[in-house]
């Protein structure tokens, strides 16, 4: 009954405000900025193992879906 509603927390931003949505993903690893790419199949092993979180490169919203670190240039 009320249990479902409790998951809607105010301030937990997971909605991108950009157009188009999620123009890019970024994360931080050991103080270095890393680029991320959406991964529809789920987050990569490295992301899960390190507990990394991705945010939108445009608006900074927390990316709620699976993602992986992009290859370095
Ligand atoms: Zn955004």
Expressed in angstroms and rounded, the spacing between residue 13 Cα and the centre of ligand 1 is: 10
> Does position 6 have pLDDT exceeding 70, yes or no?
no
Calculate how far, in angstroms, residue 23's C-alpha sits from the geometric centre of ligand 1.
7
pLDDT category of residue 8 using cuts at 50, 70 and 90: very low
**DSSP code per residue over 10-68:** TT---S--SSSS-S-EEEEETTEEEEEEE-TT---HHHHHHT---EETTT-PBP-S-EE
> What pTM, to 2 d.p., does this model score?
0.76
Protein residues within 5 Å, CB atom, of ion ligand 1: 16, 18, 56, 58-59
Q: Indicate whether 11 pLDDT > 80.
A: no
In the structure encoding, which two tokens stand for residue 63, read together? 């990316």
What confidence tier does 12 reach under pLDDT thresholds 50, 70, 90? low
**Overall average pLDDT of the 53-66 stretch:** 96
- Average pLDDT value for the chain: 86
- Distance from Cα 2 to the centre of ligand 1, integer Å: 30
């Amino acid at each position: 009954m009320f249990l479902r509603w409790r998951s809607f927390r105010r301030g937990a931003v997971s909605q991108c405000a950009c157009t188009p949505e999620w123009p890019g993903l970024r994360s931080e690893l050991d103080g270095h900025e890393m680029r991320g790419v959406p991964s529809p199949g789920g987050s990569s092993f490295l992301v899960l193992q390190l507990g990394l979180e991705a945010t939108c490169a445009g608006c900074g919203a927390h990316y709620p879906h699976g993602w992986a670190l992009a290859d370095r240039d």
